[in-house]
Structure 1
Amino acid sequence: MPQSILPFLMFQGDAEAALEFYRTTIPGTQVDRMERYGEGEPVAAGRFKSARLTLAGQEVMVLDSPPVHDFTFTPAFSFYVECSDEDEVRALAAALSHDGATMMPVENYGFSRLFAWVSDRFGVSWQLNCA
């Protein structure tokens, strides 16, 4: 049986900026471990390589991949955030969608009091809900 299953976000050059954005935007986010590239690796020594962080109790792995890929993030996968109140939905939706996109604006869609679906400027998708 697996010991754990974690979301793994692979960025292309902006993982450290994303990490800092999440740390300052999502209350309670903490960086548990961070690694930088060393001498002899495929990118300049000292550049961000990977991290493990905790977002509201959920552990997440983050990598800055040196090869350029033909893919990026998709809304088919998103973080589902259970917010404590409507103000939190509004605040997170505004902060996360800044320079990103809004798929479903903050509204009552009938299945919850308030919901929003946004993607941040790095392309990561977030569903924000206040039941």
Structure 2
Amino acid sequence: MTTRLNPYLNFRDTTREAMEFYHSVFGGELTMSTFAELHASEDPAEQDKIMHSQLVTEQGLTLMAADLPNSMELTPGNNFSISLSGEDEGELRGYWDKLSDGGNVGMPLEKAPWGDLFGMCIDRYGITWLVNIAGEQPSS
């Protein structure tokens, strides 16, 4: 898998609706996981929220989105980040180190509940970056 750079959108309880709309526009394969499925929140009010969704098209477009937890502020117009994801840990850690240098690390790059390495930072120019390094894939 090559490293991907794509937009990551945030919504307040409308990710499912929005991503189904984008799916109708672009086609492709849409996957969605809830907070409950990923054991990402103990708040009963958040269990049906979308923790992560991804739309991948045959043309190579990738769009990701999630519902923000109730505790996080949503500001329309600033409700996006850029995602870097792939399997090359050295390459992605290098990007992480450079992007987070002089910025603000919101979540250190470490093992996430879904098994990958994941981190969030805001670079020195105010852009939010999500870095996800795929964990070892189960052998078939």
TM-score normalised by the chain length of structure 1: 0.44
Q: Which one has a bigger Cα radius of gyration?
A: 1
Q: Which has the higher contact order (CA 8 A, sep 6+)?
A: 2
TM-score normalised by the chain length of structure 2: 0.42
